[in-house]
């Protein structure tokens, strides 16, 4: 039996024992904190300047939200989205908030509930009844409104109470906050204090039975509504857990908690099931990053709540959920942006509040390894000033649960006295579920953000994934330049039929028909990109500080015309402290008589300049070239593949064989304009199209609203034996690239690699980049004195003298009188001759 299932068994035993022993009686407050926590929190505030400042900030913002006069209370509460105009003789019901309901009106209730939480927290901390009145008024108004609102269950699978077609959103922004307010003002209300009723304009007793109805209804809604096997159950779980913990009846409370912990329903997954995606340390939730991060953060948050109340040690049962928070940092580009894959974003808010929760969890569970790791992350953030521990987060406007006060309540004062260890990003990382492989090279003595290199390739089928084939993103001079599609509004046609499919990605489309399967998530099924070879292997040491590569393959099985096979080799080559480039070799073939393949590359920029042997390439308008896909049908699971009918301003050249110099100029980066030089290596007949593609709202201004320029290289016939070959070098727009020329290395009509000439200062560099299809293939060139057995290797000469030999995957490499052998049991080797 695996360790994971043993842990599950232990968990079940602990829960069963705890429930059987009837020890779950709750004294309130209890969900976030207890009465016993108050002196500890005050000690933290008194003895830590950062905590004192957070406390004052919470007071200052909340004081404005706690009206003292009845007229002000009435004015505030009357803004709630209740049906005030309908006279039913009783407290008004909530106005139903179906899709299209004004966000501004929705935000009124969302903000009020967050204010109620803040007021409840400050009542707990200060015992000031003014804060209790604020929280109790909000609670009473919402409870009465809900009890008089009909629950419409006709929309199966999605229905909410206030939001008839979106329980997923309602559970986060409304339902999860109500029990927190109740928990904090429970003792105030139990003491007999009345609440202000805005409908009666009078004081009344709080209706505890009505509140219990709210909690039970919302807890049950979580079990009866939603989708499983994705992020939904986790996004709805705070509502389930919060509302369960607010239920007074112990048996009912325990029943609902068991559904969160280990029991399944048709519409809700348990923590035990969620944890199956975190089998190994470093695993992340298998969806795009925006959802993946939320699943880890919210699961850890709920585990910590329960670990504080019950002796469950969930943090130790499922430690890999916490360690997932560390994996995300390994994925970042040098400018701290994230790779954009699937429906993910480029940037995410600081994770430090979540790291504070992770540190508390590790402390509660006495997990010394995670204690040390998360303490170091927090201290490093404070030291680098990327984390301001003396500032508390504002209230939220996003579709999220609200727990900003925990940054004061839960933050552990003592971070230990161990010195801070600097985070060092691994040279390579993989994301297995997404078929993604990341290479980076920050081996520079100068500005790593500006001079660092990083590339991502990959693709797979997963929830919120895209059908992309072997995708690619490239970084340069402080920016992600070669970019993926990002996302638009999920309901928009451009999102469904462009952003989510092949044409929006830096990939190859075969026969104009690369497509997805309709059997997977929203019809976006595709085969996972498979690693063929890589050096260094993910998270392993590199043999050289100058070179790395990955070769991956993809079966374009669901191609609408004929299945195709793709293979991509992408390498990072560093030439010095400030210079380097990328090699991209893409093979494609399909068993069709008239096969053709299109190589697509989108780059952040304002214009494309295309030269051939120093002369501008002539283009003609080509409005029909990519229009055919628009004629395809489009349903929930059928797409207008490959999606390139969204391209505009299309211009195409004649067929060219002797190489192209393509420049993507990003002049709108005012402080540091960057040009991505794409050298399309001569020796393969291609026509080039330049066009504009839809904007990517995930990018920084102004490129989030501007159309994205792209090039499309079309080759008629097989592109496998002699593949697409493009070398990319990012450079300041006012400077020349270091690369002077690139040629193919051919042997009997078969591609064997590239010969690159570059100039770095006074160093004249000549490199032979050897790339063979098979892992143990042999190449012999007596004229140059080169012999290589293997898949990938680099020979570097400086000023005519041998400087470096590198084998990324192979057995032996010889250049004239010098030979490099790979040791037994190894695949890679490196030798420096300087």
Q: 380-415 pLDDT, tens per residue?
A: 999 999 999 999 998 777 899 999 999 999 999 999
> Which of residues 737, 754, 788 is at a domain's end?
737
Mean pLDDT of all residues belonging to the chain: 94
Do residues 274 and 297 share a domain? yes
Q: Is residue 668 part of a domain?
A: yes
> Is a pLDDT exceeding 60 seen at residue 10?
no
Please state, in angstroms and rounded to a whole number, the distance separating the CA atoms of residues 208 and 205. Answer: 9
Return the pLDDT at 15. Answer: 55
395, containing H or E segment: none
The pLDDT of 201-216, averaged and rounded, is 97
| Beta partners for residue 95, in sequence order | none
Q: Is residue 788 part of a domain?
A: yes
Confidence category of residue 69, pLDDT binned at 50, 70, 90: confident
Read off the pLDDT of residues 456-488 as tens digits, 9 standing for 90 and up. Answer: 999 999 999 999 999 999 999 999 999 998 899
Please state, in angstroms and rounded to a whole number, the distance separating the CA atoms of residues 600 and 603. Answer: 10
242, containing H or E segment: helix 232-246
**What's the token pair of residue 10?**
């232990």
Do residues 329 and 432 share a domain? no
Please state, in angstroms and rounded to a whole number, the distance separating the CA atoms of residues 344 and 466. Answer: 10
> Is a pLDDT exceeding 90 seen at residue 66?
no
Return the pLDDT at 3. Answer: 45
Please state, as a whole number, how many other Cβ atoms lie within 10 Å of the Cβ of residue 826.
Answer: 11
Do residues 765 and 703 share a domain? no
Do residues 378 and 447 share a domain? no
Q: What is the CATH number of the domain that holds 481?
A: 2.70.98.70
Q: What is the DSSP string of 332-357?
A: --TTS-----TT--S-----HHHHHH
The gap from C-alpha 514 to its chain's centroid, in whole angstroms, comes to 25
**Residue 97 in 3-state DSSP?**
coil
Please state, in angstroms and rounded to a whole number, the distance separating the CA atoms of residues 111 and 132. Answer: 17
Do residues 707 and 731 share a domain? yes
Confidence category of residue 21, pLDDT binned at 50, 70, 90: very low
Return the pLDDT at 13. Answer: 54
Q: Is residue 548 part of a domain?
A: yes
> Residue 519: left (phi > 0), alpha (psi -120 to 50), or beta?
alpha
**What's the token pair of residue 491?**
């309901």
245, containing H or E segment: helix 232-246
Q: What is the CATH number of the domain that holds 173?
A: 1.50.10.100
Return the pLDDT at 710. Answer: 97
> pTM for the full model?
0.94
Return the pLDDT at 669. Answer: 86
Looking up tokens 């004062």 gives: 413
Strands (E), 705-785: 708-716, 719-732, 739-747, 750-760, 763-771, 778-781
CA angle centred on 762, ends 756 and 764, rounded to 5°: 20
Read off the pLDDT of residues 134-188 as tens digits, 9 standing for 90 and up. Answer: 999 999 999 999 999 999 998 888 899 999 999 999 999 999 999 999 999 999 9
Contact yes or no for 174/246 (Cβ under 8 A): no
Q: Give the pairing type, strands 786-798 and 620-621.
A: unpaired
Confidence category of residue 19, pLDDT binned at 50, 70, 90: very low
Return the pLDDT at 68. Answer: 78
**What's the token pair of residue 234?**
């986790």
Q: Is residue 282 part of a domain?
A: yes
The pLDDT of 555-563, averaged and rounded, is 98
Q: Give the pairing type, strands 687-693 and 620-621.
A: unpaired
**In terms of C-beta density within 10 A (0-12 exposed, 13-18 middle, 19 or more buried), how is residue 592 classed?**
middle
**C-alpha to C-alpha distances, 38 to 33, 34, 121, 357, nearest whole angstrom:** 8, 7, 11, 18
The closest of 140, 147, 139 to 197, measured between CA atoms, is: 140
Q: Is residue 810 part of a domain?
A: yes
Contact yes or no for 643/502 (Cβ under 8 A): yes
Please state, in angstroms and rounded to a whole number, the distance separating the CA atoms of residues 260 and 270. Answer: 5
> Is a pLDDT exceeding 90 seen at residue 90?
yes
Contact yes or no for 638/518 (Cβ under 8 A): yes
Please state, in angstroms and rounded to a whole number, the distance separating the CA atoms of residues 313 and 309. Answer: 10
**Between the CA atoms of 699, 703, 707 and 712, what dihedral angle is there, to the nearest 10 degrees?**
-70
| Cis omega (within 30 of 0) for bond into 269 | no
> Which of residues 707, 737, 767 is at a domain's end?
737
Do residues 345 and 481 share a domain? no
Contact yes or no for 677/728 (Cβ under 8 A): yes
**Residue 148 in 3-state DSSP?**
coil
| Cis omega (within 30 of 0) for bond into 551 | no
**Rounded to the nearest 5°, which phi and psi values hold at 423?**
-70, 130
| Beta partners for residue 289, in sequence order | none
**Residue 536 in 3-state DSSP?**
coil
Q: What is the DSSP string of 743-759?
A: EEEEETTEEEEEEEEEE
The pLDDT of 672-691, averaged and rounded, is 96
Confidence category of residue 17, pLDDT binned at 50, 70, 90: low
Going by the DSSP 8-state scheme, the letter that residue 711 receives in this structure is: E
**What's the token pair of residue 763?**
């160093």
Contact yes or no for 694/487 (Cβ under 8 A): no
179, containing H or E segment: helix 178-190
Return the pLDDT at 14. Answer: 56
> Is a pLDDT exceeding 70 seen at residue 5?
no
> Is a pLDDT exceeding 80 seen at residue 668?
yes
Residue 261: half-sphere exposure toward Cβ, Cα within 13 Å: 29
| Cis omega (within 30 of 0) for bond into 29 | yes
Please state, in angstroms and rounded to a whole number, the distance separating the CA atoms of residues 609 and 601. Answer: 14
**What's the token pair of residue 255?**
């029943």
Q: Is residue 807 part of a domain?
A: yes
> Which of residues 712, 737, 762 is at a domain's end?
737
The pLDDT of 609-633, averaged and rounded, is 95
Do residues 393 and 461 share a domain? no
**In terms of C-beta density within 10 A (0-12 exposed, 13-18 middle, 19 or more buried), how is residue 698 classed?**
buried
The closest of 562, 563, 582 to 572, measured between CA atoms, is: 582
Please state, in angstroms and rounded to a whole number, the distance separating the CA atoms of residues 79 and 804. Answer: 72
Do residues 701 and 759 share a domain? no
Going by the DSSP 8-state scheme, the letter that residue 686 receives in this structure is: B
Return the pLDDT at 802. Answer: 98
Please state, in angstroms and rounded to a whole number, the distance separating the CA atoms of residues 754 and 582. Answer: 12
> Is a pLDDT exceeding 90 seen at residue 679?
yes
Q: What's the full length of the chain, in residues?
A: 834
The pLDDT of 327-343, averaged and rounded, is 96
Please state, as a whole number, how many other Cβ atoms lie within 10 Å of the Cβ of residue 386.
Answer: 11
Do residues 120 and 35 share a domain? yes
Please state which of the ranges 240-244, 250-254, 571-575, 774-778 shows the lowest mean pLDDT. 774-778
**Between the CA atoms of 236, 240, 243 and 245, what dihedral angle is there, to the nearest 10 degrees?**
-140
Q: Is residue 317 part of a domain?
A: yes
Please state, in angstroms and rounded to a whole number, the distance separating the CA atoms of residues 764 and 51. Answer: 58
Q: Is residue 420 part of a domain?
A: no
**C-alpha to C-alpha distances, 501 to 107, 506, 529, nearest whole angstrom:** 34, 11, 15
**Rounded to the nearest 5°, which phi and psi values hold at 465?**
-90, 170
Do residues 459 and 446 share a domain? yes
Structural domain total, the chain: 3
The pLDDT of 340-344, averaged and rounded, is 95
The closest of 630, 638, 684, 685 to 512, measured between CA atoms, is: 630
pLDDT > 70: what percent of the chain? 97
Report the helix count and the strand count for the chain, using DSSP H and E: 20, 30
Range of the domain at 276: 3-409
Please state, in angstroms and rounded to a whole number, the distance separating the CA atoms of residues 789 and 569. Answer: 17
Contact yes or no for 684/719 (Cβ under 8 A): yes
Q: Which residue has the higher pLDDT, 734 or 532?
A: 532
Q: Write the CB contacts of 583 (distance below 8 Å, at least 6 apart in sequence).
A: 549, 569, 570, 571, 573, 725, 726, 727, 754, 769, 771
Q: Write the CB contacts of 79 (distance below 8 Å, at least 6 apart in sequence).
A: 108, 112
CA angle centred on 230, ends 229 and 231, rounded to 5°: 140
416, containing H or E segment: none
Q: Write the CB contacts of 242 (distance below 8 Å, at least 6 apart in sequence).
A: 31, 175, 176, 177, 178, 179, 180
Do residues 650 and 754 share a domain? no
> Is a pLDDT exceeding 90 seen at residue 203?
yes
Do residues 144 and 270 share a domain? yes
The pLDDT of 593-600, averaged and rounded, is 96
The closest of 494, 454, 488, 447 to 339, measured between CA atoms, is: 454
Q: Give the pairing type, strands 596-602 and 708-716.
A: antiparallel
């Amino acid at each position: 039996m695996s360790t994971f299932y043993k842990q599950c068994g232990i968990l079940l035993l602990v829960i069963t024992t705890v429930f059987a022993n009837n020890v779950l009686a709750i004294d309130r407050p209890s969900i976030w904190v207890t009465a016993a926590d108050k002196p500890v929190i005050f000690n933290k505030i008194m003895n830590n300047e950062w905590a004192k400042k957070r406390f004052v900030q919470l007071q200052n913002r909340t004081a404005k939200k706690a009206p003292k006069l009845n007229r002000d209370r009435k004015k505030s509460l009357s803004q709630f989205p209740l049906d005030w105009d309908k006279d039913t003789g009783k407290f008004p019901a909530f106005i139903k908030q179906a899709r299209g309901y004004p966000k501004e009106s929705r935000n009124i209730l969302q903000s009020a509930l967050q204010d109620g939480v803040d007021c409840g927290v400050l009542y707990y901390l200060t015992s000031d009844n003014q804060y209790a009145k604020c929280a109790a008024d909000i609670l009473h108004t919402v409870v009465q409104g809900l009890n008089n609102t009909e629950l419409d269950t006709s929309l199966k699978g999605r229905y909410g109470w206030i939001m008839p077609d979106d329980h997923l959103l309602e559970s986060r922004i409304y339902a999860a906050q109500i029990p927190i307010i109740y928990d904090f003002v429970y003792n105030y209300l139990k003491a007999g204090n009345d609440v202000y009723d805005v409908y009666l304009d009078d004081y009344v007793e709080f209706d505890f039975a009505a509140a219990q109805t709210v909690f039970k209804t919302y807890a049950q809604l979580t079990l009866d509504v939603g989708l499983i096997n994705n992020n939904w159950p986790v996004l709805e779980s705070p509502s389930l857990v919060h509302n369960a913990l607010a239920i007074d009846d112990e048996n009912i409370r325990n029943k609902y908690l068991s559904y969160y912990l280990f029991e399944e329903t048709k519409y809700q997954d348990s923590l035990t099931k969620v944890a199956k995606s975190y089998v190994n340390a470093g695993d992340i939730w298998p969806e795009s990053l925006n959802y993946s991060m939320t699943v880890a953060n919210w699961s850890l948050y709920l585990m910590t709540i329960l670990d504080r109340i019950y002796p469950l040690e969930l943090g130790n049962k499922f430690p890999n959920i916490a360690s997932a928070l560390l994996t995300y940092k390994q994925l970042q580009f040098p400018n701290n942006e994230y790779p954009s894959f699937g429906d993910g974003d480029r940037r995410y808010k600081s994770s430090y509040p979540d790291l504070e929760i992770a540190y508390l969890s590790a402390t509660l569970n006495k997990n010394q390894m995670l204690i040390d790791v998360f303490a170091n992350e927090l201290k490093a953030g404070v030291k680098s000033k990327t984390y301001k521990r003396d500032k508390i987060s504002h209230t939220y406007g996003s579709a999220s649960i609200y727990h900003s006060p925990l940054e004061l309540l839960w933050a552990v004062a003592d971070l230990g006295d161990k010195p801070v260890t600097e985070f060092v990003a691994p040279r390579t990382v993989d994301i297995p579920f997404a078929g993604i492989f990341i290479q980076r090279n920050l081996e520079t003595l100068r500005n790593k953000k500006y001079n660092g290199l990083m590339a991502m390739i990959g693709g797979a089928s997963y929830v919120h994934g895209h059908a992309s084939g072997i995708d690619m993103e490239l970084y340069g001079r402080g920016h992600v330049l070669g970019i993926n599609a990002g996302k638009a509004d999920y309901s928009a046609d451009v999102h469904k039929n462009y952003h989510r499919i092949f044409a929006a990605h830096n990939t190859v489309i075969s026969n104009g028909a690369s497509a997805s399967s309709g059997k997977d998530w929203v019809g976006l099924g595709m085969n996972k990109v498979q690693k063929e070879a890589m050096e260094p292997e993910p998270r392993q040491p590199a043999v050289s500080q100058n070179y790395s590569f990955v070769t991956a393959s993809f079966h374009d099985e669901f191609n609408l015309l004929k299945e195709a096979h793709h293979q991509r080799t992408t390498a990072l080559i560093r030439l010095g402290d400030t210079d380097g480039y990328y090699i991209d070799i893409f093979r494609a073939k399909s068993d069709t008589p008239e096969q053709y393949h299109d190589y697509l590359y989108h780059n952040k920029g304002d214009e494309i300049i295309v030269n051939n042997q120093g002369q501008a390439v002539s283009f003609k308008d080509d409005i029909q070239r990519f229009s055919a896909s628009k004629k395809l049908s489009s349903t929930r699971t059928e797409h207008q593949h490959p999606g390139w009918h969204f391209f505009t301003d299309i211009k195409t050249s004649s067929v060219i064989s002797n190489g192209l110099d393509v420049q993507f100029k990003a002049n709108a980066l005012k402080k540091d304009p960057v040009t991505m030089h794409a050298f399309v290596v001569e020796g393969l007949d291609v026509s080039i199209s330049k066009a504009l593609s839809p904007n990517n709202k995930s990018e920084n201004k102004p490129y989030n609203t501007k159309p994205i320029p792209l090039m499309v290289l079309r080759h008629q016939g097989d592109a496998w034996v002699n593949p697409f070959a493009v070398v990319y070098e990012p450079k300041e727009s006012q400077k020349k690239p270091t690369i002077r020329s690139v040629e193919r290395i051919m042997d009997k009509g078969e591609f064997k690699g590239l010969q690159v000439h570059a100039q770095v200062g006074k160093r004249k560099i000549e490199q032979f980049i050897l790339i063979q299809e098979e892992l143990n293939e042999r190449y012999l060139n007596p004229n140059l004195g080169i012999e290589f057995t293997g898949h990938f290797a680099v020979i570097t000469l400086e000023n005519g003298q041998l400087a470096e030999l590198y084998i990324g995957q192979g057995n032996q490499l010889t250049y004239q009188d010098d030979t490099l052998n790979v040791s037994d049991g190894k695949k890679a080797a490196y030798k420096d001759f300087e």
